[in-house]
Amino acid sequence: MKLTDISTFVVGNPTPGNGGRYFVFVRLTTDGNVHGVGEAYCVPFHPDIVAHMAVDVFGRYFAGRDPHDIESLWRRVYSAGYTQHADLSLMGVLSALEMACWDIIGKEAGQPVYKLLGGRVHERLRSYTYIYARPGDATDVYADPELAAQRATEYVAQGFTALKFDPAGPYSAFDGRLLSLAAMERCERFMRLLREAVGTRADLLFGTHGQMTAAGAVRLARRLEPYDPLWFEEPVPPDAPEEMARVAAATRIPIAAGERLATKYDFGRLLRAGGAAILQMNLGRVGGILEAKKIAAMAEVQQALIAPHLYCGPVVGAANIQLATCSPNFLILEGIERWQGSHADVLKKPIRWEEGYVIPPIEPGLGVELNDAFIARHPYQGDRLHLEMGQEPLQG
């Protein structure tokens, strides 16, 4: 079996746009006309450039190769251009190509990918969602704790047993910083009202975006501890795992981190530092499915759990599901609400979600196929990136 061709798809994410402004998918084809799909997460260039990068990397390292040879393909790309370093852009492209290879491998074997990585451990996968804004909201759900508490009860009624929210305010290229007293008061009020609203029916996941210094994060954590959140997410920027460890050592709240890390090497540094009890690898950035499985095994040795990250499209979501299904130390899976809307429409068959849980597919490969008709109707025509940070320093 040899890889012969690549197609790329840059898909605009229609309103409300949850999961980012666009998705970047690839489809690889073999000489036996077997197809596999993959997705790159949040590469910091215009998505058309990302698509060209995928074509370039495919032509240099994948074309004419056997997709089963994941390890050798991975090492060649990881070392491209005399790098041998966790370059997030290259890893995003590699992740898309690697997961497409696994999709092909599973289809060729007639098995879901999780069956080829140790087999099914979990019959269903607990999932969580962000608390999202809705059309017609009179206020901003991210700034209005009363509205967020009301929305939380609605999600719990749908079956969710865990909810994430990020009330600390805007984040910028100049973080970390110390939050103001007003911002900390708002964060504590969110925690208090949401805990009162959901009681013990749902875990609360406190999100940030690396906004604080370690000292500032510890200061906020002490306000949040009485409400027993399941985790405190990425409280400091991702470039200093030893600072993340300072926060972890100073709070009773488990620290979750990893969406902006790539490869076993980044995660190894985080684990050695003691920086996180919950690892949030995004399979569209981390280096693909096999790399994520290795990280999950490293975490298992240190009694850390995995909670695959998703703020992109459902192909990464499908890869996350494969990893979660075969990983003993899986905790919880991020989804975009109930995987409805564009996250269902961009697939021929939506991901199966039932009363707070994702049901792993039994179809071979990743278990998803792209809906080309939907993709053709939704090209991305903007110039902004998938996610962007504030460009000016913030006070508090």
| Cβ(270)–Cβ(259) below 8 Å | no
Q: In a 10 Å sphere around its CB, with 0-12 CB exposed, 13-18 middle and 19+ buried, how is residue 231 labelled? A: buried
Rounded to whole angstroms, the Cα distance separating 153 from 252 reads: 26
Residue 371: helix, strand or coil by DSSP?
Answer: coil
- pLDDT value of residue 284: 98
State in words which class domain 115-366 has.
Answer: alpha beta
| Cβ(95)–Cβ(40) below 8 Å | yes
The enclosing H or E element of 344 equals helix 342-345
Rounded to whole angstroms, the Cα distance separating 390 from 110 reads: 46
The DSSP bridge partners found for residue 40 are 24
Q: What is the pLDDT of residues 214-250, one digit of tens each?
A: 999 999 999 999 999 999 999 999 999 999 999 999 9
Q: How far is CA 273 from CA 54, 235, 279, in A?
A: 33, 15, 13
Check pLDDT > 80 for residue 392: yes
Mean pLDDT score, 348-373: 98
From the candidates 46, 85, 122, 309, which is the catalytic residue?
Answer: 309
- Our answer to whether residue 35 is catalytic in this structure is no
- pLDDT value of residue 395: 77
Average model confidence (pLDDT) for the chain? 97
In the chain, where the domains are located: 3-111, 115-366
Q: 0.95 exceeded by the pTM?
A: yes
Q: Which residues of 98-108 are buried (b: 16+ CB within 10 A; e: fewer)?
A: bbbbbbbbbbb
Q: What is the pLDDT of residues 116-134, one digit of tens each?
A: 999 999 999 999 999 999 9
Residue 30: helix, strand or coil by DSSP?
Answer: strand
From the candidates 209, 343, 378, 386, which is the catalytic residue?
Answer: 209
Confidence of residue 307 (pLDDT cuts 50, 70, 90): very high
- pLDDT value of residue 102: 99
DSSP state of 4: E
State in words which class domain 3-111 has.
Answer: alpha beta
- pLDDT value of residue 333: 98
The single residue listed with the structure tokens 């497409």 is 100
Check pLDDT > 80 for residue 280: yes
Check pLDDT > 90 for residue 396: no
- Our answer to whether residue 209 is catalytic in this structure is yes
Q: Nearest-CA neighbor of 62 among 49, 54, 294?
A: 54
The Cα angle at residue 395 between residues 390 and 393, in degrees rounded to 5: 35
Check pLDDT > 90 for residue 300: yes
Mean pLDDT score, 173-194: 97
Mean pLDDT score, 327-346: 98
Check pLDDT > 90 for residue 48: yes
